[in-house]
A and B are shown apart, each in its own frame.
Chain A
Amino acid sequence: DTEVTQTPKHLVMGMTNKKSLKCEQHMGHRAMYWYKQKAKKPPELMFVYSYEKLSINESVPSRFSPECPNSSLLNLHLHALQPEDSALYLCASSQLNGINQPQHFGDGTRLSIL
């Protein structure tokens, strides 16, 4: 069982829709991450939040808007997506105290853009 919970597991949306992906963890981790993974490719980092503040944005298009309302929750708001945005979106979290703490991943949201 994963300790990082992502909802929904699957999402199909049109290019004009607005939807949100949700991620939750209760491990007390203060860093949270969004990754995008295309088929047969490795995960690619999109955003990093440290202590609920955006610390890394990997030049992600503005149609993806992250939000970290508190230390346990991470959202990814989607608007006007393109068909090439269809992918598995993974959330992860990690400790920030101490060095070299592994990231723990959720099972992802599989997103399909029509």
Chain B
Amino acid sequence: DQQVKQNSPSLSVQEGRISILNCDYTNSMFDYFLWYKKYPAEGPTFLISISSIKDKNEDGRFTVFLNKSAKHLSLHIVPSQPGDSAVYFCAASLIQGAQKLVFGQGTRLTINP
């Protein structure tokens, strides 16, 4: 039973354009959502997060949108840069404080020059 789903295993975007990565979840109890970026041979790096009481959070080129009614969140990267090429994981948390994170399967983003 996969509670967090990223249905696109891969995404290819032209440099300078917008990258949109999507994530769906099934458990309405999730109250905190995060995006992580992972390069090969490195651990996941925290990018941006959003609380369930908000519908948008922005940090520089990264914006996360949350649609609670649809149980859907997305990460927008604009403009996309070659260094953004990595695997992106969506994660959701059930517990505040010490978090039990549940990860999606990941989307490999490739930015083409």
A residues adjacent to B (C-beta < 8 A): 2, 4, 6, 31, 41-45, 48-50, 55-56, 90, 92, 94, 96, 99-108
A46 vs B103: C-alpha distance when bound (angstroms): 13
Q: Are A102 and B100 in contact (CB under 8 A)?
A: no
Bound-state Cα–Cα, A45 to B49, Å: 19
Least Cβ–Cβ distance between A112 and chain B, in angstroms: 15
Closest B residue to A58 using CB positions: B100
Chain B nearest CB: distance from A48 CB in Å? 5
B97-A102 in contact (CB<8A): no
Q: Which residues of B (82-101) have their CB < 8 Å from a CB of A?
A: 89, 93, 96-101
The reply on B41 being an interface residue by CB < 8 A is yes
Listed residue (A94, A100, A103) with the most chain B CB atoms within 10 angstroms of its CB: A100
Beyond the given A4-B43, A44-B103, please list 17 additional residue pairs across the A-B interface where CB-CB is below 8 A. Answer: A31-B99, A42-B104, A42-B106, A43-B103, A50-B98, A55-B98, A94-B98, A96-B97, A100-B31, A100-B96, A101-B97, A102-B49, A103-B34, A103-B101, A105-B36, A106-B43, A108-B43
How big is chain B's contact interface, by range?
A: 20 to 34
Partner of B43, one of A2, A41, A94, A99: A2
Report how many A-B pairs have Cβ atoms within 8 Å: 67
Residues of B within 8 A of A101 (CB): 97, 99
- Given the interface contacts A31-B97, A42-B104, A50-B98, does A102 sit within 8 Å of B46 by beta carbon? yes
In the complex, what distance in Å separates the CA atom of A42 from the CA atom of B43? 12
Write out the residue numbers on chain B whose beta carbons fall within 8 Å of the beta carbon of A56. Answer: 98, 100
23 sample A-B contacts, Cβ–Cβ < 8 Å, listed by A number = A4-B43, A42-B105, A42-B106, A43-B44, A43-B101, A45-B100, A45-B101, A48-B98, A48-B100, A50-B97, A56-B98, A90-B43, A96-B97, A99-B97, A100-B49, A100-B93, A101-B97, A102-B46, A104-B46, A105-B36, A105-B45, A107-B42, A108-B42
* Contacting residues of chain B (57-81) with chain A, CB-CB under 8 angstroms: none
Most A C-beta atoms less than 10 A away, residue of B34, B43, B46: B43
